[in-house]
A and B are shown apart, each in its own frame.
Chain A
Amino acid sequence: MNCINCGAFLTDRDLDYCPHCGANVLIQKKVEYLSKLYYNQGLEKASIRDLSGAISCLKQSLAYDKRNIDARNLLGLVYFETGEVVAALSEWVISKNLKKNRNLASEYIARLQANQNRLEAINDSIKKYNHALAMCREGHEDMAAIRLRKILAQNPKLIKGYHLLALIQMKNHEWNKARRTLKKAARIDKTNTTTLRFLREIDEQTGVTTRMENKRKGLFGKGNREKDNISGELVVKQQAYGKERFRISLFFTLVLGFVAGGVAFWLLVLPAIKQDVYRQANEQIIQYSESLSSQGVELSKAQDEAQESGNSAEAAAKQIQEEQTRSQSYEALFNAYSYMQQDELDSAALEIQKVDESVLSDSAKGVYSTICQKTGVSGKNSSGSGTTDGSEGDGSTDSGDESSEYDENE
């Protein structure tokens, strides 16, 4: 701080006079103190988004000491937050001129200039706002409202835009829309007099008090909800300790959201999935059982075929055996006949014993009976009892015996 009288730098801050010229600097010190006091108040209000209050305090601070750089920079920042870019730039440029080195204003200006697109967008939105205001004055409120909505989408910090849009909506008796618009403005600046005035008018017209609580806090913030009308200090208090509560409640809200989602999934989606799985399993079981039954049918069919083929094979074997018997019988009959022609009755008798009568044809049977009569021996029966005729057999045996006896006698 320099002496107001001679401009000398005051090193000892406890002295109430200038050690160089002896001038009384007590008032100067008090003025500086007041400037810092208002700056602190402005900072406190800005930190809780009481931007209108902050602007008032910071202006007061600068009225006491225009060289309070912190106050000027903060004022620019608050202006920028409310969409007043020109006012913000003015404060920063003045600040930069008052203190050229180590000044935050230089950084702010550089940042703004670095992002030319954003600066142009803001400038464009300001021009459109002015145009919308002109349209309102000409009576084209509908067009102005449409334009203002676009402007606010482009530059959502322009509080004046919200106010003008809310005014048009109030004129059209769209109270709820106006309330929503003003709530958005109140989120930027909680104590803006125009916002509060318009909201009070809406409350009077609708008979419903506007609630400004944050929905995300609503789950755990019942205590804060009691009187959170956007007037008075309560909103400010809510914001003062709201940051910490906000994080905790956000976490719990997220957890609850996940749990609710899980429960909804369990109750709604999972049964459908289960049913689908069961249905698929049932379909597969039906398919398997069908294929199993068809395979069983095929197997029984194959077994029948195998049995049939076995029977046919047996029949064929039997037939073969019969044919063999028949051929043997015929061969023996033929041999017996041959022996009989040569008068070798003993050989013919031996051969005729091999003949099965049952397999012979009628003509062959005639031959067979002739040979049997001549030899006195019969063949095998179809019953399988290969026998000789009783009396005739005995005779032959006797003759055999006789011959043997004859041989022995010889």
Chain B
Amino acid sequence: MLDYEEELKKFEPCLDVADVEGAIYDREINDVMDVLQEMLREVKSNRRVR
């Protein structure tokens, strides 16, 4: 049996069109390539430190 109150808590307000800009800035758009590049950068920096 579904719990109405619990289910209602899962619903969240929708963003309206005016909030598009904020939504875009808040987006995390890193991908695996970024992670790999970060790792490469770290590896290179470690080498320099040694």
Contacts and interface: CB of A to CB of B under 8 A. Distances in A.
Interface string A61-76: 0111111000000000
A230 B4 CA distance: 23
Given A93-B24, A123-B17, A133-B13, A62 B8 contact: no
Contacts of A160: 11, 14
Contact of B2 (A86, A94, A201): A201
Contact of A89 (B1, B20, B31, B37): B20
Name which of A90, A119, A126, A130 has the most chain B CB atoms within 10 A of its CB.
Answer: A90
B14 A129 contact: yes
B47 interface: no
Interface residues of B, number: 26
A185 interface: no
Interface in A156-170: 160, 163-164, 167, 170
Contacts of B27: 90, 94
A84 B37 CA distance: 32
Nearest to B34: A66
B33 A65 contact: yes
A63 B17 contact: no
B49 interface: no
Contact of B17 (A85, A136, A205): A85
A66 to B, nearest CB: 4
B32 A64 contact: yes
A65 B32 contact: yes
B18 to A, nearest CB: 8
Interface in B15-47: 15-20, 23-24, 27, 29-34, 36-37, 40
B4 to A, nearest CB: 5
Interface size class of chain A, counting residues whose CB lies under 8 Å from the partner chain:
35 or more
A224 to B, nearest CB: 30
B19 A5 contact: no
A208 interface: no
A62 B31 contact: yes
B14 A86 contact: yes
A259 to B, nearest CB: 47
Contacts of A27: 36
B50 to A, nearest CB: 19
Contacts of B13: 129-130, 133-134
B16 A127 contact: yes
Contacts of A31: 32-33, 36
Nearest to A168: B4
Contacts of A66: 29-31, 33-34
B24 A170 contact: no
23 contacts: A4-B33, A4-B36, A4-B37, A5-B40, A31-B32, A64-B32, A65-B33, A66-B30, A86-B16, A86-B19, A90-B24, A90-B27, A94-B27, A94-B29, A123-B18, A126-B16, A126-B17, A127-B16, A134-B13, A160-B11, A167-B7, A198-B2, A205-B1
Interface of A: 4-5, 27-28, 31, 62-67, 84-87, 89-90, 93-94, 119, 122-123, 126-127, 129-130, 133-134, 136-137, 160, 163-164, 167, 170-171, 197-198, 201, 205
